[in-house]
Amino acid sequence: MAKLLYSATMSLDGFIAGPGGDMSWMTPYLGPDPLFDELVPNVGAILAGNRTFRGDDPYRDTPAEGQAFGGAWSGPQVVLTHHRPSVPWPGVTFTDDLATAVALAVDAAGDKYVNVLGADVARQCLAAGLLDEILVGVAPIMLGAGTRLYDQEGGTSVKLERIRSAEVPHSSDLWFRVLR
């Protein structure tokens, strides 16, 4: 059965998006990356929140704009939203229920990963005990404000076990298993 893996590139101070959802800070840090390049062909489906789906793109103003992983991946996507579009979107299923979204994505992913994108959706998957792994690339930048990798009102501890790591000049990658 597919595992759920939350992946993101994060600033050293813990943000995956800058103020107002800005993603332009990430553009200089795109490029070959050992762990993310290993992950991408093993992603069977994407489970994303609507702010990720409709949000800013680090590949903005390039030919790869609007494509998952800058065009390195294509496949089924499930998007959580209370605002379903009125017209169908090829390859994308919209739903307003987490359990339904996870079931659809797991089914679509086969024996590959469901790649969870978006901090809000990842937080809900964690709270439901459904998140298996986390892959974070730490970029050499601090943003000071924005969307945190993980934000839980009141705070809560999530214990992790590091299972992989890798270094490239633009990223320190850390791959974790979520301990339950």
| Residues that bind ligand NAP in the complex, under the rule CB under 6 A | 8-9, 16-17, 21, 23, 26, 48-52, 55-56, 80-83, 96, 98, 117-121, 124, 147
| Nearer to ligand NAP among residue 61 and residue 111 (C-beta) | 61
Q: Quickly list DSSP for the chain.
A: -PPEEEEEEEETTSEEE-GGG--GGGGGG-S--HHHHHHGGGEEEEEEEHHHHHS--TTTTSTTTTSGGGGT----EEEE-SS--SS-BTTEEEES-HHHHHHHHHHHHTTSEEEEESHHHHHHHHHTT---EEEEEEES---SSSEES---TT-----EEEEEEEEETTEEEEEEEEP-
Query: Which of 83/180 has CB closer to ligand NAP?
Result: 83
Our CB check for ligand NAP shows the closer of 85 and 110 to be 85
In the complex, minimum distance from the CB of residue 112 to ligand NAP, in angstroms, rounded to a whole number: 19
CA distance 115 to 16: 15
CB of 115 to ligand NAP, least distance (A): 10
Minimum CB–partner distance for residue 179 and ligand NAP (Å): 23
Find tokens 């990963």 and name the residue.
113
Q: Toward ligand NAP, which CB reaches closer, 44 or 146?
A: 146
Q: In the complex, what is the shortest distance from the CB of residue 177 to ligand NAP, in angstroms, rounded to a whole number?
A: 19
**CB 101 to ligand NAP: min, Å:** 7
| Residue nearest ligand NAP (C-beta atom) | 49
Closer CB to ligand NAP, 111 or 135, in the complex: 135
